[in-house]
Amino acid sequence: MKNLFKLSPTSQRQLQRFRSIKRGYYSLVILAIVLVLTIFAELWINNRALVVSYKGELYFPTYSAVIPAKTFDQKIGTGDEETDYRKLQASFKENKSNYVIMPFVPFGKSEQHKVKDKEWPLAPGDGHWLGTDEQGRDVVSQLVYGFRIAFFYSFLVLVLTYVLGVFIGCLMGFWGGWFDLLFQRVIEIWSNIPYLYAIMIVVSLVGTTFTNLVVISVFFGWTGMTWYMRTATYKEKSRDYVMAAKALGASDMRIIIKHIIPNTITLIITFAPFALAGGITGLTALDFLGFGISAENPSWGDLLKQGMDYLDDAYWIGASIISAMTLILVLVTFIGEAVREAFDPKKHTYYE
Amino acid sequence: MKKIYIISLTTMVLGAILSVLVSMSIQSNEQKNKNVAAILTPDSPIEEIPKKEIPEKLEWITNTDFPEIGSSEAKKGGLLQMFMLNFPQTFRVVGPNSNTQFRSYILGNKMSLVTYHPYTKEIIPQLATHWAFGADQKTVYFKLDKDARWSDGRAVTAHDYLYILKFMRSKHINAPWYNNYYTEQITDISAYDNYTISITTKDRKPKDELIYTLAAGPIPAHYYGELDENWERDYNWAIAPNTGPYQISEYKKGKYVILERKKNWWAAKKKANKNLYNVDRVIYKVIRNEAIAYVYFKKGELDYFPIVKPKWWHGKAKGPLYDNGLVVKHWFYITVPEGVGGLFFNLDHALLKDKDIRQGIAHSINMDGMIADVLKNDYLRMQRFTEGFEKYDFPDIEARVFDLTKADEFFNKAGFDKRNEDGVRINKEGVKLSFKVNFGAESHLPRLAYLREEAKKAGLELVLEQLDPVTNYRKISTKDHEICWVKFGGGGLKPRYRQFFHSSFASKPDNNNLCNVNDPELDKLIEAYREEFDEKKSQDLCEKIQRRIYEICPIVYSYSVPYHRSAYWKYWRFPKIAAAKSSTELFDPFLGGGAFWLDQEEKEKTKLDKVLGVDGEPKVIIDKMFKPGQKK
């Protein structure tokens, strides 16, 4: 087990160097915290209570099945519908034995909060720190849940495009010859298709679900990494260690996976943060144009569009989303810069 | 190296040849345009049509006893400044690219044989003085007004009506719909002398509908003459003679069009036009963006700005101009046949064919709440399948309302009496009560999201599926939807049911029976209604159909928008009744509108007020005279 976590001296040095670049390091820490928080967003942004104590029994509605209102003798509708925990909390005020603990932000991601005699979008107040959007949904919840979707979309696209791009790029560089020539032409053509346009057209045909969008984005986006990997592989191929591996009878796949990719990992890692940021902005752009996954989900693009629509009337929408985007993109860029610097081959070049 | 020289030389030569060809074709185009000269000049003698006997004895009808439309206080003069988002691609009104916003302004100056009184809706004379109905219920006879003149001075005669068929049936106008309509539907136009004609349609129709179909406007025969294959191109920017109060006097492509009031308009003295069409000139400026147009309006470079949408009326139309009453906000209710809109169930769906489920859903849709919260209570709930047909409206048929108890009853009856862990109803087999809702307009998402959230309370899951409009249309027209969100256009004299509900259209693609309604009882009623020419019986049948539709419950009705809302500068004046009962905007300067006028003194004063500042009261007019009867 110990060996698994033991890094090579080079990697250790690179990590040390990264840690010493404070700006990037702290950005990574902040982003990691944000990510963990968004993964468990249901626990702190939700219209379902964390804990309800009613008649001596404890309930934990966050991740459980829907608890109908009649369980708590709440009188709304027919009683079969979901409990309104905010109202429940208010009604328990007098009765000390029953209590409700609500999350930090007591609004759900798709909940439309009605306030008497007020029109959507609600200005900050009424429990909404950043107000609501035009559908009465809490802007904080939209930001957090929207970020979660955008981040995971971007991450998935990144991983899949990298696996495909790195693999094909390596093969092109390693095999060369007609395979290289053929794929060069294919990729030239492929990368000339306007990315966002192509996605929009296909999405409008097949419908906008998360999986569809990921698959389509990968389908049109895998070419980016191939050029770099091809060149890097050509370079590595002529090194002695590849020759040695070949002489020992290693298969092509083994050489690529065990020898070439680990030696070009720097390249892959330094591009990753920027690709991640690109993915987030890409999805936001798609949502903004109405081709994203906005119909059912909170989304940054949708917020951005509302921000533009309500520029003079509801500044809080535009201000929140633009600040959030700037913050995340700045963090990612800082990390990316730090990674690039830490992995700079000019600082640690070792020939084997 | 030599190769390169050869290649570049060849390219240059080819390029030169190509450019010569292109320039030649442009030249020949210009020459063609110059050739567009009237076949007959306005002054050439009018051929006499040999007198023919009218084959039947007719009872000639006219109408001179109708209330005056305009106000006696109206003053002539001034300029009305309007905007349009695009410059028209052509001034033709038929043929390719002619379906533009500007087309309606050209047609606004094309008179018909008869027209409707804007307030009372009775038939009043326009180009015809008298009319009579043929015994076959297909033909209407008209006596033409001998005073009628084209804008070039030539008399309007039977020739111009006979020419309609020749023109509209011509392949050269490149308008298949018109070709077909004037062959299949309008089967004949005949002349009995220079000023008496008859027009015949294919199907028998009740009188009001017949005259509505047949009161066409003439086409200037002397101007177009024989058509040829170049017609479409040659007449792109031709300003055809018209019969109405205004004519295009000046235009600059991409910038503006000016229409000027005719000095000696032939119909100016007629009763129906008294005190109407008051402004001297109307300018349509091309402003490609609404927000920018609004800035023009605030500067006084536009006289009027439409603020129909809640976002405008409640939101952006605010500020000192409004607070001081320099700009008036005017909300004008209208009565027009409203196109049906709402959630359409596909009755072929395994669950949706159950009436209890349909009714349960209808009671789980909080349309009123949505109208209140999302649409700021501006729209009215649509109560039944057809609204706004005054004689064919039945206010006691009301839409089902959001009612969780009733929804619960119906769903339980249909077997969906349990809920799963997401709170969605399931039946014994474990099937979820969940439906896909298709829609095409992205801006409707907030409306549907609201309905979805409210439906959750009833244990009904709606999965919203937003498609781009074309895909959505295809999906709906192939009946591939579960529930779709649709709004039809309105219009017509009588409600039409066959296309929406007759079983001959059910479960077949490309028709309006989106719900796949297949009900023998309804079929019978619809067929009887179609054959009925008596108004009273027709109304009875119509009511029965409406009640049957209510029982079947194929649609959850959405909303109607029976009004227009405008902001305009305070120097505009209106008669007591500001606009027509079925008007589409307050400032319609042409036929059917044109009752407003400009107060010059007030305009000068307003200019000063704007500079010096004024303390006035805000002016908001809410005009409910033509508000459709809604039972509360």
pLDDT tens figures, B161-177: 999 999 999 999 988 88
Q: Rounded to a whole number, what is the distance in Å from the CA of A107 to chain B's nearest CA?
A: 14
CB–CB of A133/A139 below 8 Å? yes
Residue of A nearest to B468 (CA): A204
Q: What is the pLDDT of residue A13?
A: 86
* Mean pLDDT value of segment B320-337: 90
pTM for the whole thing? 0.76
Q: What is the pLDDT of residue B30?
A: 45
Tokens 């895909």 correspond to: B471
Q: Which two tokens stand for residue B367?
A: 């349309």
Q: Are residues B529 and B571 in the same domain?
A: no
Q: What is the pLDDT of residue B25?
A: 56
Q: Are residues B232 and B297 in the same domain?
A: no
Q: What is the pLDDT of residue A348?
A: 55
Q: Is A82 on the interface with B (CB under 8 A)?
A: yes
Residue of B nearest to A81 (CA): B457
Residue range B140-167, pLDDT digits in tens: 999 999 999 999 999 999 999 999 999 9
pLDDT at residue B29 tops 50: no
Q: Are residues B368 and B302 in the same domain?
A: no
Q: Rounded to a whole number, what is the distance in Å from the CA of A78 to chain B's nearest CA?
A: 6
Q: Are residues B402 and B297 in the same domain?
A: no
Q: What is the pLDDT of residue B375?
A: 86
Q: Confidence class of residue A97 from pLDDT cuts 50, 70 and 90?
A: confident
Q: Are residues B353 and B469 in the same domain?
A: yes
Residue percentage of chain B with pLDDT more than 70: 94
Average pLDDT, rounded, for chain A = 88
Contacts of B438 (CB under 8 A, 6+ apart): B465, B467, B472, B475, B476, B481, B482, B483, B484, B485
Q: Rounded to a whole number, what is the distance in Å from the CA of B611 to chain A's nearest CA?
A: 25
Range list of β-strands (E), B35-160: 79-84, 114-116, 123-125, 128-133, 139-144
pLDDT at residue B34 tops 50: no
Question: Using CA atoms, how far apart are residues B506 and B519, in angstroms rounded to an integer?
Answer: 10
Q: Rounded to a whole number, what is the distance in Å from the CA of B425 to chain A's nearest CA?
A: 10
pLDDT at residue B417 tops 50: yes
* Mean pLDDT value of segment A30-53: 93
pLDDT at residue B32 tops 50: no
Q: Confidence class of residue A349 from pLDDT cuts 50, 70 and 90?
A: low
Would residue B115 count as lying in a domain? yes
* Mean pLDDT value of segment B225-248: 92
Tell me whether residues B421 and A111 touch, CB distance under 8 A. no
Q: Are residues B156 and B21 in the same domain?
A: yes
> B231, B252, B273: which is the final residue of a domain?
B252
Tell me whether residues A81 and B453 touch, CB distance under 8 A. no
Q: Confidence class of residue B24 from pLDDT cuts 50, 70 and 90?
A: low
* Mean pLDDT value of segment B281-290: 91
Would residue B534 count as lying in a domain? yes
Map out the domains of chain A with their CATH numbers: 14-39+141-347 (1.10.3720.10), 47-102 (no CATH)
pLDDT at residue A11 tops 90: no
Q: What is the pLDDT of residue A130?
A: 94
Q: Is B453 on the interface with A (CB under 8 A)?
A: yes
pLDDT at residue A158 tops 90: yes
Question: Is the peptide bond prior to B628 cis by the omega test (within 30 degrees of 0)?
Answer: no
Would residue B275 count as lying in a domain? no
pLDDT at residue B632 tops 70: no
Would residue B260 count as lying in a domain? no
Would residue B186 count as lying in a domain? yes
Q: What is the pLDDT of residue A1?
A: 44
Q: Phi and psi for A218 in degrees, rounded to 5?
A: -65, -40
Q: Rounded to a whole number, what is the distance in Å from the CA of A59 to chain B's nearest CA?
A: 15
pLDDT at residue B630 tops 60: no
CB–CB of B168/B177 below 8 Å? no
Q: Are residues B216 and B166 in the same domain?
A: yes
> B544, B560, B576: which is the final residue of a domain?
B560
pLDDT at residue A312 tops 80: no
Q: What is the pLDDT of residue A350?
A: 54
Q: Is B320 on the interface with A (CB under 8 A)?
A: no
**Residue among B215, B225, B220 nearest B172 (CA):** B225
Total number of domains in chain B: 3
Which region holds residue B358: left if phi is over 0, alpha if psi is between -120 and 50, else beta?
alpha
Tell me whether residues B420 and A110 touch, CB distance under 8 A. no
Q: Are residues B417 and B518 in the same domain?
A: yes
List the single best residue of A67, A85, A109, A112 to mutate versus B (max B Cβ within 10 A).
A112
Q: Is A79 on the interface with B (CB under 8 A)?
A: no
Q: Is B474 on the interface with A (CB under 8 A)?
A: no
How many alpha carbons fall within 13 Å on the CB side of residue B369?
A: 22
Q: Residues of A numbered 293-352 whose beta carbons fall under 8 angstroms of chain B's beta carbons: which are they?
A: 294-296, 309, 312-313
Q: What is the pLDDT of residue B2?
A: 63
Task: Decide which of A258 and A206 is more confident.
Answer: A258
> B560, B589, B614: which is the final residue of a domain?
B560
Q: Are residues B384 and B494 in the same domain?
A: yes
Residue of A nearest to B409 (CA): A78
Would residue B628 count as lying in a domain? no
Residue range B509-567, pLDDT digits in tens: 888 899 999 999 999 999 999 888 788 898 999 999 999 999 999 999 999 888 999 99
DSSP run (H or E) holding B549? helix B535-552
- CATH number (domain holding residue B520): 3.10.105.10
Q: Confidence class of residue B123 from pLDDT cuts 50, 70 and 90?
A: very high
Q: What is the pLDDT of residue B314?
A: 85
Tell me whether residues A66 and B419 touch, CB distance under 8 A. yes
- CATH number (domain holding residue B93): 3.90.76.10
Q: Confidence class of residue A347 from pLDDT cuts 50, 70 and 90?
A: low
Would residue B601 count as lying in a domain? yes
Tell me whether residues B445 and A204 touch, CB distance under 8 A. no
Q: Are residues B511 and B606 in the same domain?
A: no
Q: Confidence class of residue B315 from pLDDT cuts 50, 70 and 90?
A: confident
Q: Is B464 on the interface with A (CB under 8 A)?
A: yes
Which residues of A are less than 8 Å from B468 in CB distance?
204
DSSP run (H or E) holding A58? strand A57-59
- Sequence-separated contacts (24+) of B474-481 with Cβ below 8 Å: B475/B438, B476/B438, B476/B514, B477/B509, B477/B510, B477/B511, B478/B509, B478/B510, B479/B346, B479/B348, B479/B507, B479/B508, B479/B509, B479/B514, B479/B516, B481/B344, B481/B346, B481/B436, B481/B438, B481/B514
Q: Are residues B302 and B195 in the same domain?
A: no
Question: Using CA atoms, how far apart are residues B376 and B270, in angstroms rounded to an integer?
Answer: 44
Average pLDDT, rounded, for chain B = 88
pLDDT at residue A352 tops 60: no
Q: What is the pLDDT of residue B309?
A: 83
Radius of gyration, alpha carbons of chain A? 26
Tell me whether residues A66 and B421 touch, CB distance under 8 A. yes
Q: Are residues B396 and B247 in the same domain?
A: no
For chain B, the distance separating the N- and C-terminal CA atoms, rounded to the nearest angstrom, is 89
Domain residue limits at B514: 341-560
pLDDT at residue B398 tops 50: yes
Would residue B4 count as lying in a domain? no
pLDDT at residue B631 tops 60: no
Residue percentage of chain A with pLDDT more than 70: 96
Residue range A192-221, pLDDT digits in tens: 988 888 888 888 778 778 898 999 999 999
